[in-house]
């Protein structure tokens, strides 16, 4: 089985990056379960909660821009260490403070995910490092395992938060505010573990002069075939310091990914937690168990996504999984029974993560290695900025009983439109990317 072969051949740095994403997403899964409820408990209005999420994501956009655009000059490992220390600091502030302004500043300067998903500079730098360390024929499997560890970590964090809050509040009679604060203390503790992983990474994660020379050879042999025939050679640099190949595709990728992220920002998982809590009166343990199950199925579904990416090509694989996922999410709007809503959300999660690996393959196949960190940083910054707009609308919807459910429809509509644009611009690239993956190379 190629998945097992890729796992067995992975080197120490790849495995440390797998451990890193597990720890980080475990922390994000923890805080996702309590963030909105904690802010409401300390007296923050729903509209201000939406503003909090937007400001946090804007801060993440700015921090991510600085750290990812200059990551090669600073050093990828240094960037990941800096981000981890920021993550630790934000957890400690949330555990000890109730002031709205200070919490916003901590979330902006530190790393608190308002959506339970990736935030900050980690994802861009880690994915660029993994692509740098992995040949094309192993990338679908290596990225699938990376996704598996990430969603497994989120699942572990979700169920841990639910049971920690219920145990402390019911068995030990702690106040809910104290329970939520302890969740953020655990979050800070997880960041210490992540810091150990980052400090253990080797120099192989960094781009060297030899890597750039090798990249030039690859461009001549392969990458130019991914461009339209009228486009000049990919090794030439444009006005932004990026190759002409990258500048050709980057605007199209930004439109697609930003539209998708705008839809996601309208109804992220933190608001799903809030919606289920308010509409269906679900307990903290019940919500924790639900999100453990959805994140667990997310983790499992990342493995067959590598198979679909190789069988269909990355673009077809995205369309094959993302469109049904959007329809399932939209259907939650029209149910009044918790078990039906939970089943639909579970089915949505079973397919939504299966587009992650194909997206990673598409990006890393049409972008040069020495530009991956910058490009992934720009893409993730664009996604974060687009996502930041949504909570402003969601916060307003939450102030009107019965209106919040329409966020599901708005989310799904944006995703389906993004899929249409993706198919129009990139569907023809599948055959060329599959040809790249057919060349067998070993992981160094």
The superfamily in CATH containing domain 12-204+243-437 is MFS general substrate transporter like domains (1.20.1250.20)
Return the domain boundaries, the chain: 12-204+243-437
Are the CB atoms for 80 and 201 separated by under 8 Å? yes
Q: How far is CA 229 from CA 50, 121, 226, 358, 433, in A?
A: 46, 35, 9, 25, 16
Per-residue pLDDT of the chain (444 residues; tens, 9 = 90+): 577 788 888 999 999 999 999 999 999 989 888 898 899 999 998 888 888 887 887 777 777 777 777 888 889 899 899 889 988 999 999 999 999 999 999 888 777 776 656 666 788 888 889 988 998 888 888 988 998 898 889 888 988 998 899 999 988 999 999 999 999 999 999 999 999 999 999 999 887 755 555 544 444 444 444 544 444 444 556 556 778 888 888 999 999 999 998 998 888 887 888 899 888 988 888 888 888 888 788 778 877 888 888 888 999 999 998 999 999 999 999 998 999 999 999 999 888 878 888 988 888 888 887 888 888 888 877 887 888 788 778 878 888 768 888 989 999 999 999 999 999 999 988 888 888 777 766 676
CA 177, 178, 180 angle in degrees (round to 5)? 65
Identify each DSSP E strand in 86-216 by its residue range. Answer: none
Query: Distance between CA atoms of 141 and 7, rounded to whole angstroms?
Result: 8
d(CA 219, CA 223): 5
Which one, of 94, 111, 8, 117, lies nearest residue 44 by Cα?
94
DSSP secondary structure of 199-241: HT--GGGS--HHHHHHHHHHHHHTGGGGS-TTSPPTTSB-TTS
Which positions ≥6 away from 190 have C-beta within 8 Å? 23, 24, 26, 27, 30
């Amino acid at each position: 089985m190629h998945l097992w072969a890729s796992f067995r051949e992975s080197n120490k740095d790849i495995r440390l990056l797998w451990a890193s994403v597990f720890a980080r997403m475990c922390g994000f899964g923890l805080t996702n379960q309590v963030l909105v409820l904690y802010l409401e408990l300390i007296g923050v209005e729903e509209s201000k909660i939406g503003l909090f999420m937007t400001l946090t994501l804007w801060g993440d956009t700015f921090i991510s821009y600085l750290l990812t655009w200059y990551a090669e000059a600073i050093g990828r490992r240094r960037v990941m260490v800096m981000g981890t220390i920021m993550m630790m600091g934000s957890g400690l502030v949330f555990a000890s403070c109730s002031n709205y302004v200070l919490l916003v500043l901590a979330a902006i300067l530190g790393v608190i995910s308002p959506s339970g998903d990736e935030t900050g500079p980690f994802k861009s730098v880690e994915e660029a490092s993994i692509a740098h360390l992995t040949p094309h024929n192993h990338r679908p499997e290596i990225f699938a395992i990376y996704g598996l560890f990430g969603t497994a970590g989120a699942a572990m964090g979700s169920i841990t938060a639910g049971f920690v809050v219920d145990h402390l509040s019911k068995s030990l009679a702690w106040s809910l505010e104290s329970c939520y604060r302890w969740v953020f203390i655990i979050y800070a503790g997880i960041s210490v573990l992540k810091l150990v992983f980052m400090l253990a990474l080797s120099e192989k994660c960094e781009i060297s002069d030899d890597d750039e020379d090798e990249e030039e050879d690859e461009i001549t042999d392969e990458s130019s075939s991914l461009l339209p025939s009228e486009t000049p050679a990919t090794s030439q640099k444009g006005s932004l310091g990026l190759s002409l190949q990258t500048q050709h595709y980057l605007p199209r990728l930004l439109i697609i990914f930003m539209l998708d992220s705008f839809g996601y920002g309208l109804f992220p998982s933190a608001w799903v937690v809030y919606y289920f809590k308010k509409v269906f009166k679900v307990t903290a343990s019940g919500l924790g168990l639900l999100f453990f199950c959805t994140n667990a199925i997310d983790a499992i579904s990342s493995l067959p996504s590598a198979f679909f990416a190789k069988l269909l090509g990355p673009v077809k694989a995205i369309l094959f999984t993302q469109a049904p996922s959007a329809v399932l999410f939209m259907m939650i709007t029209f149910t009044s029974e918790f078990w039906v809503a939970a089943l639909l959300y579970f089915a949505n999660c079973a397919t939504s993560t299966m587009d992650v690996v194909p997206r990673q393959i598409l990006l890393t196949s049409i972008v040069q290695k020495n530009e991956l960190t910058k490009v992934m940083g720009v893409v993730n910054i664009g996604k974060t900025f687009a996502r930041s707009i949504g909570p402003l609308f969601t916060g307003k919807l939450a102030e009107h009983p019965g209106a919040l459910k329409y966020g599901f429809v708005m989310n799904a509509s944006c995703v389906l439109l993004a899929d249409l644009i993706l198919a129009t611009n990139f569907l023809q690239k599948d055959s060329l990317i599959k040809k790249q993956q057919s060349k067998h190379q070993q992981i160094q």
